Amino acid sequence: MTLIKSISGIRGTIGGQVGENLTPIDAVKFASAYGIWLKQQRNKENFRVVVGRDARISGEMIQNLVMNTLVGLGIHVIDLGLSTTPTVEVAVPMEHADGGIILTASHNPKQWNALKLLNAKGEFLNGEEGAKILAIAETDTMQFADVDNLGKITKNQAYIDLHIDEVLKMPLVNKKAIEDANFKVVVDGVNSTGGIAIPLLLERLGVQTVKLYCEPNGEFPHNPEPLKEHLGDLSKAVTKAHADLGIVVDPDVDRLAFMDEKGDMFGEEYTLVACADYVLSKTPGNTVSNMSSTRALRDITLKHGGNYEASAVGEVNVVELMKKNKAIIGGEGNGGIIYPELHYGRDALVGVALFLSLLAEKQMKTSELRATYPNYFMSKKKIELTPTLDVDAILKAMEERYQNEKLTTIDGVKIDFSNSWVHLRKSNTEPIIRIYTEAPSQNEADKLADKVISEIKAIANI
């Protein structure tokens, strides 16, 4: 089992050995470190932190540990209970809080959980801030509040509704067109909080909703990563219901993928492409995605007269480059939409509202809309890491092997060929090397990935 400390937060499997897994002691230690770091940021008396969780089985236990640790530091807690990552991000500035914590391991299976840490803007901490918290966690000099200065916990379970209010206020959300389109949609909420939030949003938009796995009990009915190979039940449900499309989110509702009326994937990479196409058609400007995302976003951005830039993988890196380049929309190819009009965070609710606005205005079927975009095909594979594998040496060897090609090394190694690319990097969230490729056909993308995997195995003698 594993405990991973990275730019994406503190993530691990529940149970097992302290320091090697996300045990109660580890949850308290890292929540303490975060609270102490937060108090170092400002000289004031009252500190407030927003805390919410997805529906995974360990969530209530971890949340209670985290909240009461903050109380022990003299920090007041706003408890959102079952929530979504973007909802907590929206709630932090609305509450004028000093930070936020989301208890979720995102797309990881049910045995995982994590502490995702936010600043006072409701945005993820950067690498430098994360490093300071990790350093504090390793000290034995943490100071807690005395009995007269303990924090208090206040429950507020209205924030999913408040989040939806903010989404519907966005000028580009065409509520009337969506209502007039009389959409019928199947929602796969993977038995987490997307099963609460997405149907509520669709109801407010006048969309007929068929619920699939929308009971927030944390018993994921399939692998919770919203990829084609995990969504056979959604495909069947869409065609059986004669729906206009299917919607699937990950457990914390920051990733979003669509399925067309035929039960075929729209493509998680094309969630951002379609939403950007809509936004850029109304408000031209620049875009950003990470290095592992499709070239189609670049093509759409250029079509609308904007400038496209690619960042290192990780939401905080995308946001940093978006701010620098004044991008009006951005995100990650895994189905993460970042629309600064509302906030700088991946938000499936924002993505649903923008996508349905586009589909309603175009008066097209979902499959017809997909056919209007450039066709690229991706392969996303991985190699499990073992303690003996030297990832840095492997990446360096691959860099040398392809030194005559266009290389980018700000995040692993990306090799750009004339009509394809491959990106190799160590994951921030799992003990794996990710191998992403893109090419003009699925066969070419798969072949390129398999070729690179065989080269890595030869280098590593595995």
Q: How far apart are CA 424 and CA 448, in angstroms?
A: 12
User: What whole-number distance in Å separates Cα of residue 313 and Cα of residue 255?
Assistant: 15
Whether 58 is a known active-site residue: answer no
User: What is the Cα–Cα distance from 369 to 354, expressed in whole angstroms?
Assistant: 14
Maximal C-alpha separation, the chain: 66
List residues bridging with 6 in a β-sheet. 9
Where helices occur in 150-231 by DSSP H, the ranges are 159-169, 175-181, 194-204
Tell me which DSSP letter residue 219 carries: -
Rg (CA), the chain: 22
Half-sphere exposure in the Cβ direction for 414 (13 Å, CA) = 19
- Tell me the angle at which helices 269-282 and 296-303 cross, rounded to the nearest 10 degrees: 10
CA 236 to chain centre: 26
Catalytic residue among 8, 32, 83, 106: 106
**Contact residues for 40 (Cβ-Cβ < 8 A; gap 6+):** none
Are the C-beta atoms of residues 12 and 21 closer than 8 Å to each other? Answer: yes
> The tokens of 102 are what?
């989301």
Q: Report the half-sphere exposure of 30 (CA within 13 A, side-chain side).
A: 27
**The tokens of 182 are what?**
């009389």
Give Cα separations from 448 to 178, 422, 437 (angstroms): 41, 8, 7
Distance CA 98, CA 122 (A): 9
In whole angstroms, give the CA distance from residue 462 to residue 459.
8
Residue 433, strand partner residues: 383, 426
> First vs last Cα of the chain: how many Å apart?
21
Query: From residue 153, how far is each of 32, 74, 229 by CA, in Å?
Result: 16, 11, 41
Question: Residue 277 CB: number of other CB atoms within 10 A?
Answer: 24
Per the DSSP assignment, residues forming a β-bridge with 11 are 4, 114
Catalytic (active-site) positions? 106
